[in-house]
């Protein structure tokens, strides 16, 4: 199974198109915490604790809910958004007519992807795949990625253990320098 994820350059192009403070904070939270769209709609204002620099994530599909450290960049974006947030609903992310719905978030994503000139086959869920892949590329342990995504079963996380080009090259360099591999 091939996992669709955005490379860092593509992710930067995507975020470069987002000038709206709400949308920037929304998609940053989805990416940074590997949220499913429905999980993003569950976020409430009280789930953010700026003093403790934490965010409470409500996981679906049998995932493990819990408090996570708040990325400083995400905190900054959330603070900027909250200064002008329209309190038209109970969710953290609201619009003119109340809480943002899954379909609205999906449509926003598609619009920004199109504006960035990126593949229209990507869905919001690819942001979840992207953070998992980027964490592994950064050298994070598969168990950290499992915890970060809220997976209860490690098998669900192992799909992200695929080797990207960057990771593959790093492994080969390490192998070349290793005495475990015979140089002939």
pLDDT 10s digits, 97-119: 999 999 999 999 999 999 999 99
Name the CATH superfamily housing domain 8-177: Intergrase catalytic core (1.10.443.10)
Higher-confidence residue of 141 and 23: namely 23
- Residue 163 pLDDT level (bands cut at 50, 70, 90): low
Confidence band of 39 (pLDDT split at 50, 70, 90): very high
pTM above 0.85, yes or no: yes
Q: Which residues are catalytic?
A: 36, 61, 125, 128, 151, 160
The position carrying tokens 């905190």 is: 75
Alpha carbon distance 105, 111 (integer Å): 10
Q: Regarding predicted confidence, which is higher, 69 or 62? A: 69
- Does pLDDT of 122 surpass 70? yes
Residue 54 has pLDDT above 90, yes or no: yes
Joined tokens for residue 118: 């990126």
pLDDT score for 183: 67
Per-residue tokens: 30? 């989805």
* Dist. CA 61–CA 18, nearest whole Å: 29
List, in sequence order, every residue forming a beta bridge with 98; answer none if it has no partner.
95
Q: Is 131 left (phi over 0), alpha (psi -120 to 50) or beta?
A: alpha
In the three-class reduction of DSSP (H, G, I as helix; E, B as strand; rest coil), residue 89 is classed as: coil
Helix (H) or strand (E) holding 37: helix 37-42
Q: Which two tokens stand for residue 119?
A: 């593949």
Domain coordinates of the chain in residue numbers? 8-177
Strands (E), the chain: 48-49, 54-57, 66-69, 94-95, 98-99
pLDDT at 22 > cutoff 90:
yes
pLDDT at position 177 is 81
């Amino acid at each position: 199974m091939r996992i669709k994820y955005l490379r860092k350059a593509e992710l930067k192009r995507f975020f470069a198109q987002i000038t709206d403070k709400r949308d920037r904070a929304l998609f940053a939270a989805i990416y940074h915490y590997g949220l499913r769209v429905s999980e993003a709609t569950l976020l409430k204002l009280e789930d953010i604790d700026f003093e403790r620099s934490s965010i409470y994530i409500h996981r679906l599909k049998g995932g493990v809910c819990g408090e996570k450290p708040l990325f400083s960049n995400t905190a900054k974006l959330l603070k900027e958004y909250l200064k002008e947030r329209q309190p038209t609903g109970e969710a953290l992310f609201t619009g003119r007519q109340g809480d943002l719905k899954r379909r609205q978030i999906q449509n926003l994503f598609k619009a920004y992807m199109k504006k960035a000139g990126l593949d229209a086959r990507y869905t919001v869920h690819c942001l979840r795949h992207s953070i998992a892949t980027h964490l592994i590329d950064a050298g994070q342990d598969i168990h950290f990625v499992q915890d970060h995504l809220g997976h209860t079963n490690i098998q669900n996380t192992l799909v992200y253990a695929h080797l990207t080009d960057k990771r593959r090259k790093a492994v080969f360099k390490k192998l070349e320098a290793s005495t475990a591999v015979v140089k002939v």
